[in-house]
């Protein structure tokens, strides 16, 4: 309306004969409709052409066109009609690391945080499609463009879906999935491995990242690449019961542990129930097991170092069988979600969220009994070859 008013004021200022302007102008200002049609063809053939006012009258006669979605339509037949309708559980497991039933349960749990409304600009992605995009990206080292081509979306949409799903898992599922659970079952599980009254095993692993913009040297680990630390406590079945993620790769495991909530709760005696057994003449609380990098505490056992007698050697043998569950848990985590084996290009703020989401997804898959496919481990070994971590046990012994 403002544009029309400006154009009308401009035309009124022109030196057009008043008798040619007044009548159409009055009709336009009143909003009257005329049965007379402007003969454009005649005006053009005579070389005179329509006047400015006649052009505006014609513009006023144009009716509004019904609005439609502005987004370019993309092909989604593969997802809508093949993946959702045709694929069997083995194909779902191969691609999304879980069966269709588990996938649908996950979507139902995340729906409150992921459901979106359609707008005049575009139709919103369904919750199922959003979760599928995120899982595909997390489970493969594929590029954003490659994943987007599978679902008929742009690469920016893939990046957005990954962050949205990871945040939804953090807000809705982590507190429900990463829990201690049945402590007695965990203690019995480690006792069957040879160590009594044990509530978990702790260790850390490095997740490769791109060079951060600030304080990049703090993220260079012993191997020489940029990484972020994931420290985790696991139960006898290799499920995460506590995680601490976000520290730079240069930081020592013991420092990460001392600054964690887990350390505080164990020191206060609030993480495990007060359940003690008598070993010889000593009352032994529930303990966790770690490698020589961790400090020796009344509730944290680690191997003897240096020269050992027969009893100490037996102690080390029994203890060494239990922390292997941590290494297996990290191996299965990275083999399922192989994006953790490539340099993450996310921001420093988002990387810990995605890593924590992968830990929660690992627990879901383990709890549901999802099959761990051998091909994932082969691919993980190939990807991890570029970021192989050195064996630092000898270095730690020398430091001690």
Nearest to 103 by CA among 90, 93, 114, 112: 93
Model pLDDT for residues 175-202, shown as the tens digit of each residue:
999 999 899 999 999 999 989 999 999 9
**pLDDT band, very low/low/confident/very high, at 34 (cuts 50, 70, 90):** very low
Rounded to 5°, angle at Cα 384 from 372 and 99: 20
Q: What is the Cα–Cα distance from 67 to 70, expressed in whole angstroms?
A: 8
Does the pLDDT value for residue 392 go beyond 60? no
User: Distance of CA 201 to CAs 55, 106, 107, 243, 297, Å?
Assistant: 81, 28, 31, 12, 14
**pLDDT band, very low/low/confident/very high, at 117 (cuts 50, 70, 90):** confident
Mean pLDDT throughout 158-168?
A: 96
How are beta strands 282-284 and 277-279 bridged, if at all?
antiparallel
- Concatenate the DSSP letters of all residues of 161-214 into one string: HHHHHHHHHHHHTHHHHS----HHHHHHHHHHHT-TTEEEEEEEEEEEBPPPSS
- Give buried/exposed letters for 171-200 (b at 16+ CB in 10 A, else e): ebbbeebbeeeebeebbebbeeeebebbbb
Mean pLDDT throughout 137-164?
A: 92
If one counts every other C-beta atom within 10 angstroms of the C-beta of residue 24, the result is 17
End-to-end CA distance of the chain: 81
Nearest to 312 by CA among 301, 323, 300, 298: 301
In the chain, what percentage of residues exceed pLDDT 90? 55
Indicate the DSSP class of residue 274.
S
Mean pLDDT throughout 360-385?
A: 89
Helix ranges restricted to H, the chain: 2-12, 18-30, 40-45, 52-60, 77, 89-96, 100-114, 127-139, 144-151, 155-172, 174-177, 183-193, 253-258, 261-268, 310-321, 324-336, 351-367, 374-384, 393-399
Does the pLDDT value for residue 227 go beyond 50? yes
For residue 101, the number of C-alpha atoms closer than 13 Å in the C-beta half-sphere is 5
Q: What pLDDT shows up at residue 73?
A: 46
Q: What is the Cα–Cα distance from 26 to 18, expressed in whole angstroms?
A: 12
Specify whether the CB–CB gap between 257 and 294 falls below 8 A: yes
Model pLDDT for residues 251-284, shown as the tens digit of each residue:
999 999 999 999 999 999 999 999 999 988 889 9
Q: What pLDDT shows up at residue 100?
A: 94
Does the pLDDT value for residue 336 go beyond 90? yes
Rounded to 5°, angle at Cα 279 from 277 and 241: 50
Rg value, the chain, Cα: 33
Q: What pLDDT shows up at residue 390?
A: 53
Model pLDDT for residues 64-116, shown as the tens digit of each residue:
555 554 444 445 567 877 888 888 999 999 999 999 999 999 999 999 999 98
How are beta strands 277-279 and 198-208 bridged, if at all?
unpaired
Kind and range of the H or E run holding 231: strand 227-234
Dihedral over alpha carbons 204, 207, 208, 214 (to 10 degrees): -80
Taking the model in full, what pTM does it have? 0.77
Does the pLDDT value for residue 294 go beyond 80? yes
* Residue pointed to by tokens 């027969």: 310
Specify whether the CB–CB gap between 319 and 289 falls below 8 A: yes
Q: What pLDDT shows up at residue 353?
A: 97
Structure tokens at 163: 């962050």
Residue with the larger pLDDT of the pair 356 and 78: 356
**DSSP SS3 for 300:** strand
Does the pLDDT value for residue 314 go beyond 80? yes
Nearest to 357 by CA among 92, 170, 140: 170
Listed in sequence order, the residues at least 6 apart from 148 whose beta carbon sits closer than 8 Å to its beta carbon are: 133, 154, 155, 157, 158
**DSSP SS3 for 272:** coil
Mean pLDDT throughout 236-242?
A: 96
Q: What pLDDT shows up at residue 61?
A: 52
């Amino acid at each position: 309306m403002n544009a029309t008013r400006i154009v009308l004021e401009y035309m009124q200022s022109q030196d057009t004969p008043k008798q040619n302007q007044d009548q159409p102008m009055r009709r336009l200002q009143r909003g009257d409709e005329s049965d007379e049609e402007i003969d454009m063809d005649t005006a053009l053939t005579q070389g005179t052409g329509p006047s400015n006012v006649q052009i505006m009258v014609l513009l006023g006669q144009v009716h509004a066109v019904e609005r439609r979605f502005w987004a370019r339509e993309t092909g989604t037949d593969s997802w809508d009609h093949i993946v959702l309708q045709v694929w069997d559980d083995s194909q779902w497991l191969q691609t999304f690391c879980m069966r269709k039933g588990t996938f649908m349960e996950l979507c139902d749990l995340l729906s409150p945080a992921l459901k979106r409304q359609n707008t005049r600009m575009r139709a919103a992605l369904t919750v199922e499609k959003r979760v599928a995009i995120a899982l595909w990206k997390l489970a493969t080292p594929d590029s954003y463009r490659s994943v987007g081509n599978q679902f008929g979306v742009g690469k920016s949409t893939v990046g957005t879906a990954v962050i949205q799903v990871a945040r939804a898992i953090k807000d809705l599922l982590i507190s429900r999935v990463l829990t201690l659970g049945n402590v007695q079952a965990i203690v019995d599980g480690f006792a069957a491995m040879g160590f009594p009254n044990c509530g978990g095993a702790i260790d850390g692993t490095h997740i490769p990242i791109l060079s951060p913009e600030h304080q990049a040297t703090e993220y260079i680990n012993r191997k020489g690449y940029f990484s972020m630390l994931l420290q985790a406590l696991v139960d006898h079945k290799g499920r995460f019961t506590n995680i601490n993620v976000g520290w730079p790769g240069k930081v020592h495991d013991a420092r990460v542990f001392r600054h964690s909530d887990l350390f505080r709760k164990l020191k206060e005696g609030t993480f495990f129930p007060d359940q003690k057994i008598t070993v010889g003449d000593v009352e032994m609380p529930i303990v966790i097991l770690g490698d020589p990098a961790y400090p020796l505490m009344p509730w944290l056992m680690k191997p003897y170092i240096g020269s050992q007698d027969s009893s100490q050697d037996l102690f080390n043998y029994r203890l060494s069988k239990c922390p292997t569950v941590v290494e297996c848990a990290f191996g299965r985590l990275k083999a399922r979600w192989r994006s953790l084996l490539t340099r993450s290009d996310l921001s420093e703020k988002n990387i810990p969220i995605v890593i924590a989401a992968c830990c929660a997804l690992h627990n879901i898959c383990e709890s549901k009994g999802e099959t761990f496919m051998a091909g994932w481990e082969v691919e993980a070994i190939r990807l991890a070859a570029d970021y192989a971590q050195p064996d630092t046990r000898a270095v730690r012994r020398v430091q001690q």
